[in-house]
Structure 1
Amino acid sequence: MQWRGRRQSSNIEDRRGSGGGMRGGGGMRLPIRAGGGGSILIIIVALVLWIGFGINPMTLLGMDSGTGTQTTQSGPGVAGTSDSTDDFVATVLADTEDVWGRRFQEAGETYPAPTLVLFNGQVNSACGNAGASTGPFYCPSDQRLYIDLTFFDQLRNQLNAPGDFAQAYVVAHEVGHHIQNVTGVLPEFNQARQSMSEADANAMSVRVELQADCYAGIWAHDTDQAGYIQDGDIDEALNAAEQIGDDTLQKRSQGTVVPDSFTHGTSEQRQTWFRRGYESGDMASCDAINADI
């Protein structure tokens, strides 16, 4: 991806080194350790949360406790650092602002750009406390994306998904959840899930995640049209989608799959919906909520 020397978003908060804003009480920690009577489902869900980079599970559970300490940065990029990964993420976020800002404008609307929070180890959001093991997540209550950049090392080294465009896909997917929040998909889901069975809620969560993948594909479509995508970039995104499919994760972790526990979609589904957005460039094609998936 051609990203160096281009505009970087100023909608960045750098909370690294601030202690993450973890406060006593009011929050919850994710049950991510195995053993001691923990069920296999908890292990599966924890692994998916760690490397599936979907919606914060605390959000889906409606646990909107805690208030993050905000340290808003001004000016381009992330202040006080020369890390190229920071610059890359700020550039990708700027790209999403350009893509969705233009699309909202064409629809006669104003795009409310989200803020991306960089943290180390642990962070406090309006959706509750979270650790790095949660993976990147979006909190609709404060309209912020949260990323511990060490996740990119895990994506490359542990999940066999290298490449800068695999990382860009992560950011674009989380921005996809922001689009869902702004357009009312997430509020409707969070309301409906209160009366759903666990299996039905999981099935609807898959649809929500696939739509976010499709929106990431739309971002890739427009970025390609702008001339910033290079040979092999789309393959990197598709490989990342394959590596973090629920079936692939479960096979890797335990050798078998439990479809009723899927919350993000299979590898094939995630690739299909990213490709659908990329090839069509049409938001109407991303209606995974009502489509036959």
Structure 2
Amino acid sequence: MRWQGRKGSSNIEDRRGGKAARAGGGAGLGILLIVLVGWLFGVDASFLLNQDNTVATSTGNVGALDAGEEEAAAQFVSVVLADTETVWSDIFDEQVGRPYEEPILVLFSGVTQSPCGGASGATGPFYCPVDQKAYLDTAFFAQMRRQFGVKGDFAAAYVVAHEIAHHVQNQLGILGQAHRLRSQMGQAESNQISVRIELQADCYSGVWARAAQSLLGTLEPGDLEEALYAAKAIGDDAIQRQSGRVPRPHTFTHGTSEQRMRWFSTGYQTGDVRACDTFGANSL
């Protein structure tokens, strides 16, 4: 991905280096609040809990970054965020017919607070619809490489684009609609709605990737393969197998590896947000 030397976004809230409000001993409660608020707004955050409904723990130093790596990651995220602003402003103008409202992306190290609760390296990146901000621990990219074997800058860009896609869903009213559906359903059915939310975000990420190439010329050979490999590595079935469990489809909240790859490809091939209607699809 061509990003070095390019202008970053002004919509970065940098809480690294002790600037963040610390979750401290209340981090477990904070994570539970993220799950609750995420459910209310249609953003699934149940991946923060394991199958026994206990708070997920981090993987030690698996995501540790040295100072140089962390600063490079911060600069990279800023450039990718700027790209999403350019792309989604254009798409909203052309396909939606109204202005795009840019979100804030919060960079933090270790732990921080959000209106959705405390965030830490254990939570992974997430979008909080309460304050319309995306939250990202810069160490997550190292964790992707070391724990999931996901490499490449465009794979990391896909992660940022996916969280910004949740902001797009929020602006389009999709998260609110999803909440109304989930409030009328049991857990298994609610999980199915969550899968549709996440696969749509993957599809929107593909729409972004196509437009980023068309408008900005950012993609390089192999970039799409990096994004697809990332989508494959973080499918529900792949993650459950990696943890030594037999995949249990009724517990899936983000979609299988095959589904995540296919919906990203759909977005990239069409470049049309209307092609990302996972809620109207008979089959995912």
TM-score when scaled to structure 2? 0.84
Paired with 2:36 and 2:125, the residues of 1 have a C-alpha distance of: 13
Q: Is the 8 A contact 1:211 1:273 kept in 2?
A: yes
Structure 1: state its 5+ residue gaps: 32-55, 64-80
1:11 match: 11
Aligned: 1:151 with 2:164: no
Shift of 1:61: 3.0
Contact 1:116–1:147 (CA<8 Å) still a contact in 2?
A: yes
* Paired residue total: 252
* Residue 264 of structure 1: how far off its partner (Å): 0.2
Number of the residue aligned with 2:79: 91
How do residues 244-283 of structure 1 correspond to structure 2 at under 5 angstroms? 244-283=234-273
SS in 1 for 2:148: coil
User: 2:60 corresponds to which residue?
Assistant: none
Q: Provide the rounded CA distance (Å) in 2 between the counterparts of 1:82 and 1:146.
A: 15
CA contact (8 A) 1:19 1:122 kept: no
**Aligned sequence identity (%):** 49
TM superposition shift of 1:120: 1.3
Hey, what's the Cα distance between the residues in 1 that align with 2:259 and 2:26?
A: 39
RMSD in angstroms over aligned alpha carbons?
2.0
Alignment of 1:18-167 (within 5 A): 18=18, 20-22=20-22, 28-30=29-31, 57-62=35-40, 83-106=71-94, 107-167=96-156
| 1: CA distance, partners of 2:270 / 2:102 | 23
Are the counterparts in 2 of residues 20 and 121 from structure 1 also a CA contact under 8 Å? no
Q: Which one-letter code corresponds to 1:205 in the other structure?
A: S
1:204 matched to 2:209:
no
Structure 2, unaligned runs of 5 or more? 42-68
Q: TM-score, normalised by structure 1?
A: 0.81
The 2-side partners of 1:26 and 1:251 are apart by: 27
In the alignment, the residues of structure 1 paired with residue 35 and residue 77 of structure 2 have an alpha-carbon distance, to the nearest angstrom, of 23
1:171-228 Cα shifts (integer Å, max 9, x gaps) = 0000110000000011111233222100011000000000000000001001121321
* Deviation digits for residues 2-52 of structure 1 (CA, Å, limit 9, x no counterpart): 011212100000111336314687982447xxxxxxxxxxxxxxxxxxxxx
Residue aligning to 1:42: none
